[in-house]
Amino acid sequence: MNEHLMEIIGREIVASLPAPERSMYEFVTALEDEYASMSATSEEFMQLLVKHAPHRQAAAHFSLSFGEFIQTMRKIEETINAEMDLRLSRMTWIDCTDRFRQGDTQYFYFSMEPEEK
C-alpha cells in the first residue's frame, strides 16, 4: 500500500472524529512528532517519550486522570483502526504497467468504492 495514500486516509479519518476526540488525538500526536523531530535515533525518541510522558501531559491538559485519558485514547485508536480497515477493504489496485510499457515505470489504476450511507 502506498504510504502517502495511507497518510491521507489517516488524516481524513482523524478529521472526521468528534471534536473532543480529535483534539485529544492531535494533541498527543503533535507532542510525539515534536519529540521525534528532536531525535536522531529511535532510542533517543523513546527516551524523550519516557522523560516527557506525552500522554500524562495530555491527561493534565484535558483535566482527566491518566487512566481515563488512556482508556479514551484506546477507544479513539480502535475507531481509527476500524475505519482504516473498512476503507482499505473498499480499495482496488489494478496493475496496468503492461498496457503502457514505458521504461521501468509502473502504472496502477486505483479505485475506492463509495461509502454506504
Query: Whole-model pTM?
Result: 0.79
Give me the number of domains the chain comprises: 1
- Return the pLDDT at 50: 96
Q: Is residue 107 domain-resident?
A: no
Q: Is residue 28 domain-resident?
A: yes
- Return the pLDDT at 117: 55
Q: Is residue 45 domain-resident?
A: yes
Q: Is residue 54 domain-resident?
A: yes
Average pLDDT, the chain: 90
Q: Is residue 100 domain-resident?
A: no
Q: Is residue 30 domain-resident?
A: yes
The torsion defined by the Cα of 30, 36, 37 and 40, in degrees rounded to 10, comes to: 180
Residue 40, domain extent: 3-91
- Return the pLDDT at 116: 65
- Cell numbers linked to 82: 476500524
| Intervals of the chain under pLDDT 50 | none
Q: Is residue 39 domain-resident?
A: yes
Residue with cell 532510542: 43
Q: What's the one-letter identity of residue 93?
A: W
Reported as type and span, the H/E element at residue 93 is strand 91-95
